Amino acid sequence: MRDAQSALEQLNHCSRCGGCQAVCPLYAETRSEPLVARGKIYLLKSHLEGSLELSPKMKEIMSLCLLCKACVNQCPNKIPVDRLVLEARQTIAAEKGISFVKKNVFQHLLKNNGRLSLAARLGYLYQHSGIQWLVRKSRILEALGRDLARKERLLPEMAAVPFRRQVPRLIASNRPRYRVAYFTGCMTNFISPATGRAVLEVLKHQQLEVLIPEQYCCGIPALSSGDEATTVELARMNIEVFHKAKVDAVITDCASCGSMLRDYGNLVGTPEAREFSSKVMDLSQLLTDLVEFQPGDQEVPATVTYHDPCHLRRGQGVAEAPRKLIKTLPGVVFTEMKEADRCCGAAGSFNLTYYDLSTRVGRRKVENIKNTGADTVVTGCPSCITQIAHHLEMAGSRIKVMHLAELLSRSYAGERR
């Protein structure tokens, strides 16, 4: 591993109390010791001490982690398990290589917005040209395995036109209080422009000047698979873009992007990177800390519960802000769910790679949601939205899932698109 000595020092702090078992979503489903932090720590320590190879089994075990940080939070010694697992994945990727598909996606697609748009466009065509209809109707994927057919349904619907092409680069305001840049993230840009529009709708009412510069993937998909080089490159590209924008804050609507951007300072290590990271904040933080959110006066008749994205609550320490904002809306009844901060099982592409396991984690989330009696689940991460929506649908539930911005934007009467 990159800095074996410091990694070993952190690993040595594990007293093997096993407390991580109580909070690990994968352990809860499998009761399998290699999947819990204590097991992974022991294996990594053995590797660094020279008694264990980075075998294919090791690669599999290290990839079986949601990176949800629940164990880090629980650990008496606060061992940064997610970071250590990421480092292990990186070492394994460097030594053994990463899959052909992933390599191409990370190194050729993510850094090139033109190609990324093209890929999204192809996805859109698949979904709208009748091919998807044909695939689903013919059940051809089921012939290849039920799993594949279900995974196909997990594929979110692609936008016809990416969000950033739908909106101007600068949205001015009379006497703006702050100048903020909006990091749209790939999910909002390619899959859910409605979220982006809702973000802008909310921002419009807060007296802000909003910039939407051309930007790149935050890099978290590459980092999760051990391709740190690509992530660093993407980070440098983004830092440069946003540095030029000269803004007071960079806001995100995606918990995963947000936690990644806030880590650029550590990852790249330059003063610009640290300055950039210090300006990044989640939309909900902006609306509570920087400006005082002004809701519209339209009633929002909904019973709402809130799911904490791992990368927002534990990744960025944001838990109260979204709840506070939801409660300001006229007409909303807020109800807390059990285990609101437990991972939904999406974890980037974990839900595609390990569909069955991810489904078990997702079902528990859906049960907790259903038990609240809420008609709407709000959260702050597009990945979580995709996962929760998928499993609510599989459970035959009619509960709606939406981004916080979408709920907030509903309070502005008649102005909503």
Buried b / exposed e over 57-81, threshold 16 CB at 10 Å, is: ebbebbbbbbbbbbbbebbeeebbb
CB 224 within 8 A of CB 86: yes
Cβ neighbours for 180, distance < 8 A, ≥ 6 positions apart? 203, 208, 209, 210, 211, 247, 248, 249, 250, 251, 286
Nearer to another protein, 39 or 219 (CB): 39
Strands (E), 153-272: 170-171, 178-183, 208-211, 249-252
Token representation of residue 124: 């859109």
Q: Based on CB atoms, which residue is closest to another protein, 17 or 160? A: 17
Could you tell me how many helices (H) and strands (E) the chain has, helices first? 26, 9
User: How near is the Cβ of 56 to another protein at its closest, in Å?
Assistant: 9
- 389 alpha carbon, distance to own chain's centre: 15
Q: Which is nearer to another protein, 13 or 139 (CB)?
A: 13
Cβ of residue 78: shortest distance to another protein, in angstroms? 8
CB-based contact 401:389 (threshold 8 Å)? yes
- Closest separation between CB of residue 337 and another protein, Å? 17
Token pair belonging to 214: 């051309």
Q: Which is nearer to another protein, 85 or 158 (CB)?
A: 85
Q: How far is the CB of 292 from another protein (least distance, A)?
A: 28
- Determine the 3-state secondary structure of 206 from DSSP: coil
Burial class (CB in 10 A: 0-12, 13-18, 19+), 18: middle
Q: Which residues in this chain contact another protein in the complex, by CB under 8 A?
A: 12-13, 15-19, 21-22, 31, 33-34, 39, 42-43, 46, 52, 55, 57-58, 61, 76-77
Mention every residue, 6+ apart, whose C-beta is less than 8 A from residue 247.
178, 179, 180, 181, 211, 279
Which residue, 47 or 391, is less far from another protein as judged by CB? 47
Nearer to another protein, 5 or 174 (CB): 5
Nearest distance, CB of residue 359 and another protein, angstroms = 17
Cβ-based nearer residue to another protein, 10 or 305? 10
Least Å distance, CB 311 to another protein, is: 24
Q: At closest approach, how far in Å is the CB of 52 from another protein?
A: 7
Q: Could you give the 3-state DSSP secondary structure of residue 237?
A: helix
Pseudo-torsion of CA 307, 313, 318, 323, nearest 10°? 20
Q: CB of residue 23 vs another protein: minimum separation in angstroms?
A: 8
Complex with another protein: residue 27 or 412, whichever CB lies closer: 27
